Amino acid sequence: MSNCIIGTSASESADPALLKQAHIGWIRQDFDIPFVDGVGGQLSDKYVRSKEQARRWVAQGFRMMGVSHGLGIGTYKPDATGQMAFHWQSELPDWYGEPGSDAFMANYQAVCRFLADDLRGIVDLWQIANELDIPLFVGPLSVTQAAKLLESGARGLKEGNPAALVGPNMGGIQRGYYLYGRLYRDASDVLDYVGIDGYLGTWEPGPPQLWSERIALLHELTGKPVLINEWGFASRGEVLREGELPSGAPLCQSRKWQFSWGDGHTPAGQAAFVREAFRAFAKQKAHLMGLFFYRWEDQSHCWQCGAPDCPIETAWGLVDLHGAPKPSFTAFREGVEMLVG
């Protein structure tokens, strides 16, 4: 295999042998705020466990992509009328400072400096926070504050480990266009790649072939190699009929997709999407640093609304809930062999 990064997001229980059969050599893992009471203070139990898990992955022959922490997460809960309403859940301790403030930015840079230094030799590649161009993750920050957070994170990570590869990820080119412009003007010196997430045919319209155009555009815009931090196609879920979902309502309200492609959101449809996506990746191989499929395994509940029968966050895996390969597993393995073999 070549040096192209091939990775995924996977739970601790994922089968290492099966991951390697799919030619997956990298694992993407989140790292929460490491300190209980302030920078340099007591380490949290959750961070210590995350570090131990990362070490286990490395011991099993994988390389690690770390994701520095965000501000919190947005989810959906039914209101008094039964409609799904957005709820922001902050995950920041009081000592961190007001989100967007100078103190907050300084703490974020210091935390990232610690993470990169403390995980040196374990984590070789970093993603700064996650999709700060969308409400589910950016929370109370303005777009200019989000750009500053990403720059602060990048500088902190490089200070902690100058040899680490560092970059952001956006939920889409159009929503992230301002952030790309600011970052690769103001912080290009500490950014090693341009990252992008994309769910063509599921979260957004378009065929998998569009990946080729997207990679070329990002490379032209930033001059950096492109890393696809998340990509995939849901293997379950019906498609909305016109007018079925009220304007502004989340997809969890109807538990159906707005977009589709090919034969639809089925296991066979997912496999076909994966095959075509790899053909698109191959056309831009010279500009492609690598890719992380989202995700390795299906999930029992939708993290956005908590429902077990909601397809929105449950059917993205290459393997099912029991760890058995889906048709997309074979398509993925063959796609990697075609791309980098």
Asked if 228 and 206 count as a contact pair (C-beta separation under 8 A), the reply is no
What element of type H or E holds 292? strand 288-293
Range of the domain at 302: 5-340
**CATH classification at residue 323:** 3.20.20.80
Buried/exposed code over 209-247 (b: 16+ C-beta within 10 A; e: otherwise) = ebbbebbeebbeebebbbbbbbbbbbbbbeebeeeeeee
Grade residue 158 by pLDDT with cuts at 50, 70 and 90: very high
Quickly list DSSP for 223-277: SS-EEEEEE---SS--BPPTT-S-TT--HHHHT-BS---TT-SSHHHHHHHHHHH
Alpha carbon distance 228, 64 (integer Å)? 15
pTM over 0.85: yes
Alpha carbon distance 88, 248 (integer Å)? 17
Tokens representing 143?
Answer: 């777009």
Counted domains in the chain: 1
pLDDT tens figures, 70-120 = 999 999 998 888 889 999 999 999 999 999 999 999 999 999 999 999 999
pLDDT at 1: 44
pLDDT tens figures, 233-251 = 999 999 999 889 988 899 9
pLDDT at 2: 65
pLDDT tens figures, 142-155 = 999 999 999 999 99
What element of type H or E holds 74? strand 72-78
